[in-house]
Structure 1
């Protein structure tokens, strides 16, 4: 699939559009609605999800999970604290994201290819992508306002920027949707060379983009206009290897971490208005 460059739709971060003060200035813009030091609950995952790499809200009290080596979509029941069901959608690969959109499951491979299917269906559709140059993607999110999938680049591309591509589900068009300049990250107190998104989610209330970075152990929040409004550090003892992120419709935050030799787990954080 060729990328169509749509300039009018691109959200380009510049020093003028983003917070220009150094350090974490989230409190000066808006209060961060989660206490990332105090999870409301911790869900320990089974060995099947030791390397959990993607997370999505599915139904009430249920999340979708994927792990990076197996093409299996898992349904995790939060009440029973166990896998409720699973659906195989392919063979061995590097799968880094999962999303529930329009009654279908979408999964992201690190090379950018998307797979989508009805739950537990044997009919699997692959959407090949044609990106400029060699890149690695890990973050996948669904924006219900625009009916688009967001694909965050972790590695590759231009050295001084990070890109989020948009895939319009209706028109099947892929385009560059957000460009985040390194100098903008630096001005907001984020080490640009460590900003390598491992997860991405859209907040259901504010529409802000929540970027999870496993390398830099941070949660960076960026508005649709490209303003960085929060850059929250993640305690490495609490977040061993954060890879997946999602929200419930009410705003409850879930972050999944790989086990790194131990069981994988999901942390739940209450929304604090």
Structure 2
């Protein structure tokens, strides 16, 4: 996702969106604009589907990403939402907010602190809150490639919705270790590959594990247009009742700088 600097906007229109339930792990690392100028930057993503005839479907989704960079620190904020109806029945309803603060200590080491709130009706999440902090290491950063590793200890609180399932209304408060590895490769002058893998085991029971693998191809045919194709795979070894452990998501976006 590109950021527009100093007063402009980036509009990203979703062309294709095929998925199961949306993943609980959110890859905010790929949203940082590492080459942004000092000061504020912002991006907005909008998408939708409207189908009639044999398939009745209406879907709208969007996100707003803001970044504030100074010489000594970086703030990132994300707001996402999605609502979908099929044949008059709501099939997707989710909202997420994430705030992250990063302070560099050297070219190779920085510290991060973050907080997140999430509601996802069809993962049966009435409430999910995260608070975490940890170091981030730049393993190498060349013109065409880069590799970053981060790890954080986070406190996770979940409350499931009250419905007819056996675990309805259950509450969980657990510490988790959240580690990620992010790699960037410039395949050609205007084509980049970004690969991110997250592992989030529960501290008190490591077999309770969540994994996210996100692959993103970004093509920039000219300075004003960016086309992205991404595939996400998420695994949760202990999901709520009736929620599948494995999710996939395929999405294509077009970014236009105005």
TM-score (ref. length: structure 2): 0.32
Larger strand share, 1 or 2: 2
TM-score (ref. length: structure 1): 0.30
Larger helix share, 1 or 2: 1
The structure number with the bigger radius of gyration is 2
